[in-house]
């Protein structure tokens, strides 16, 4: 898989943004990767042209780029023969604004995930609404899950994904401070260990001085593993240089997860006390 640690920079147009997208897809696909992961709200530089608007209205203007971006990601997935997790971008559904990620498969099909847990600032500044559907998808390389930033801080959600057999959990995120980043990172590591899966997280770096409420970003993208003998002793498969634009190319072995489920020194999923407690999804 390949993770994109995306540099925020002034971007004059959607075409300029597409050039950056294709550069990273081309680069990562060149290593025969099966997945490319982009960060949350990587298209925020396009907000600069709406800086005279209140933030909630500017974000709704940014949502006008969602459909063209989805179309472009689908084309890139097919052209470069790679499955793309598109990071996320604001997207309108009727009068509701969601923070949306897409899985664009290399066969041309796609799936949608709407961020479920919305941060207080996303609600107050942008008017983002929360989704209600899990992001669990089949691919030609196993079952994956997608959550966005704040979602990974809720262990119940990760456990629901694990019960559906998710082997790789993808986490596009956007954090401005090291406090926020380390909160996301620690939770991502916990989800990997407790649910016996790989967790890949990719974020944005750099500054956007001309975009309100998006001034600075901090990230260190990484891939985490369970913590047992078959995996790295620190349960970190690979990690990027902090706060530097780059790609992270990582190989993961899904067969090791199967061995862990049955032969691990501890077996977090098998040893749950279902006679005492349960986590379940409520049906609407």
Domain annotation for the chain: domains and CATH numbers: 2-253 (3.60.110.10)
Radius of gyration of the CA atoms of the chain, in A: 18
- Strand-pair partners of 140: 142
Name which of 121, 125, 61 is nearest 91 in CA terms: 61
Write down the pLDDT at residue 210: 78
In which element (H, E) is residue 138 found? strand 136-139
3-class DSSP assignment, residue 6: strand
Range in 50-64, 83-97, 200-214 with the lowest mean pLDDT: 200-214
Q: In terms of C-beta distances under 8 Å and separation of at least 24 residues, what long-range contacts does 65-71 make, across chains too?
A: 65/14, 65/89, 66/90, 66/91, 66/92, 66/100, 67/91, 68/14, 69/14, 69/17, 69/43, 70/102, 70/104, 70/110
- Mean pLDDT for the chain overall: 96
Which stretch of DSSP H or E encloses residue 67? helix 66-79
- Taking each continuous run of H as one helix and of E as one strand, the counts in the chain are 7, 16
| Strand pairing category for 128-129 and 96-104 | parallel
Cα–Cα distance measured from residue 50 to residue 69, given in angstroms and rounded to the nearest whole number: 18
Contact at 8 Å (CB) between 72 and 102? no
What's the CA gap between 211 and 218, in Å, rounded? Answer: 16
pLDDT tens per residue, range 99-108: 999 999 999 9
Mean pLDDT, to the nearest integer, of 134-155?
98
pLDDT at 260: 95
The pLDDT assigned to 284 comes to 58
Question: Can you say whether residue 94 is alpha, beta or left, with left for phi > 0 and alpha for psi between -120 and 50 degrees?
Answer: left
> Of 33, 44, 60, 32, nearest to 6 (Cα)?
44
Specify the pairing of strand 142-146 against strand 168-172. Answer: parallel
pLDDT of 243: 95
Read off the pLDDT of each residue in 208-212 and give the average, rounded to a whole number. Answer: 83
Torsion of CA 19, 20, 23, 24, to 10 degrees: -150
Three-class secondary structure of residue 60 per DSSP: helix
Any idea of the CA torsion for 227, 233, 234, 236, to the nearest 10 degrees? Answer: -80
Q: What pLDDT is recorded for position 203?
A: 98
Model pLDDT for residues 72-120, shown as the tens digit of each residue: 999 999 999 999 999 999 999 999 999 999 999 999 999 999 999 999 9
**CA 226 – CA 270 distance, rounded (Å):** 14
Cα 36–Cα 41–Cα 42 angle in degrees, nearest 5: 55
pLDDT in tens, 215-264: 899 999 999 999 999 999 999 999 999 999 999 999 999 999 999 988 99
- Predicted confidence band of residue 211 (pLDDT cuts 50, 70, 90): confident
Q: What tokens were used for 81?
A: 């023969």
What tokens does 172 get? 């596009």
> Looking at residues 44-69, what average pLDDT do you find?
95
pLDDT of residue 30: 98
pLDDT score, position 79: 98
Q: What pLDDT sits at residue 283?
A: 79
């Amino acid at each position: 898989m390949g993770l994109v640690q995306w540099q925020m920079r002034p971007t004059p147009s959607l075409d300029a943004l597409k050039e950056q997208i294709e550069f990273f897809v081309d680069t990562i696909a060149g290593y025969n990767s099966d997945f490319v992961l982009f960060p949350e709200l990587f298209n925020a530089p396009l907000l600069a042209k709406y800086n005279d608007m209140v933030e909630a209205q500017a974000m709704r203007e940014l949502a006008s780029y969602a459909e063209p971006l989805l179309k472009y990601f689908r084309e890139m997935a097919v052209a470069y023969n790679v499955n793309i997790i598109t990071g996320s971008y604001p997207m309108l559904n009727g009068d509701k604004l969601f923070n949306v990620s897409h899985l664009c498969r290399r066969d041309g099909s796609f799936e949608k995930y709407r961020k479920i847990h919305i941060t207080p600032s996303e609600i107050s500044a942008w008017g983002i609404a929360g989704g209600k559907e899990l992001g669990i998808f089949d691919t030609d390389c196993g079952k994956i899950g997608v959550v966005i930033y704040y979602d990974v801080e809720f262990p119940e959600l990760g456990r629901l994904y694990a019960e559906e057999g998710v082997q790789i959990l993808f986490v596009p995120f956007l954090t401005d401070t090291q406090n926020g980043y380390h909160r996301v990172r620690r939770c991502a590591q916990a989800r990997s260990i407790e649910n016996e899966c790989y967790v890949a997280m990719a974020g944005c770096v750099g500054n956007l001085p001309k975009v309100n409420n998006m001034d600075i970003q901090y990230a260190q993208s990484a891939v985490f593993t369970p913590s047992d003998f078959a995996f790295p002793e620190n349960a970190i498969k690979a990690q990027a240089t902090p706060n530097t634009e780059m790609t992270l190319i990582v190989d993961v072995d899904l067969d090791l997860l199967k061995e862990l489920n049955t032969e691990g020194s501890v077996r977090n999923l098998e040893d749950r006390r279902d006679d005492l407690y349960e986590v379940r999804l409520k049906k609407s």
